[in-house]
């Protein structure tokens, strides 16, 4: 089942991970928009792979493993790229850095929490929530817009993306607290 449609979409998202930075750093006027559009396309595959897996009955252990790995890889790469290109001294530089720290830190913490809960047989207590899905949508749209950078139809795409990414970072903390509250009885239980 390694080469069914959902897994192919996930593999394409993983293959996009090194391409986004290459596009981002190319010295051409079209490179930032190309990086943003590729990130957006990869983000769309995040929804499609799960939809097709459930709809077509093609869920697999490989897909269940690869999907969150692909998501975390591409988001972490985008955040690192944005931090690297944000000019220090600008009023919003620290906002980008803090959003990146919050989002990446939360992903590490929640991944560890889910792994630990799975060892206890309680993985469903920290399954992806609706709040987590909203966070992901805002994060993917915001990061796509920040990578795109250029104004579009008179709109400051970068700033709008920054606002969406900050909202996603707030939801990231909120969802992490929600997962920790669900796991708290297990975290504080005697050995």
**What is the tens place of the pLDDT at every residue in 60-111?**
888 888 888 999 999 999 999 999 987 666 677 889 999 999 999 999 999 8
Domain count, the chain: 1
Question: For position 145, what pLDDT does the model report?
Answer: 97
Look up the CATH number of the domain holding residue 96: 1.20.120.1760
The b-or-e profile of 149-167 (16+ CB within 10 A means b, else e) is beeeeeeebbeebbbbbbb
- Quote the domain boundaries for residue 177: 5-187
Per-residue pLDDT at 88: 67
Compute the distance between CA of residue 48 and CA of residue 45 in angstroms, rounded to an integer: 5
Q: How far from 54 is each of 8, 20, 49, 58, 140, CA to CA, in Å?
A: 15, 28, 9, 6, 22
Structure confidence at residue 51 (pLDDT): 86
pLDDT at 89: 66
Q: Is the dihedral of CA 92, 81, 27, 19 positive or negative?
A: negative
Spans of the chain below 50 pLDDT:
none
Note the pTM of the prediction, 2 decimals: 0.90
Per-residue confidence (pLDDT) for residue 40, from 0 to 100: 97
């Amino acid at each position: 089942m390694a080469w069914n449609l959902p897994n192919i979409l996930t593999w394409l998202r993983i293959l996009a991970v090194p391409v986004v930075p290459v596009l981002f750093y190319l010295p051409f006027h079209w490179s930032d928009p190309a990086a943003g559009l590729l990130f957006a396309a990869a983000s769309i595959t995040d929804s499609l792979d799960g939809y097709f897996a459930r709809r077509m009955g093609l869920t697999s252990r490989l897909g269940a493993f690869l999907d969150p790995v692909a998501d975390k890889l591409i988001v972490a790469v985008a955040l690192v790229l944005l931090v690297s290109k944000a000019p220090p001294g600008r009023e919003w530089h620290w906002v980008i850095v803090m959003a990146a720290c919050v989002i990446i830190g939360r992903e590490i913490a929640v991944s560890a929490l889910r792994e630990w809960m799975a060892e206890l047989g309680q993985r469903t207590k920290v399954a992806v929530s609706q709040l987590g899905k909203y966070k992901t949508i805002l994060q993917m749209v915001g990061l796509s817009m920040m990578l795109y950078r250029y104004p579009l139809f008179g709109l400051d795409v970068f700033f709008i993306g920054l606002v969406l990414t900050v909202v996603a970072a707030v939801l990231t903390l909120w969802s992490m607290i929600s997962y920790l509250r669900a796991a708290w009885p297990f975290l504080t239980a005697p050995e």
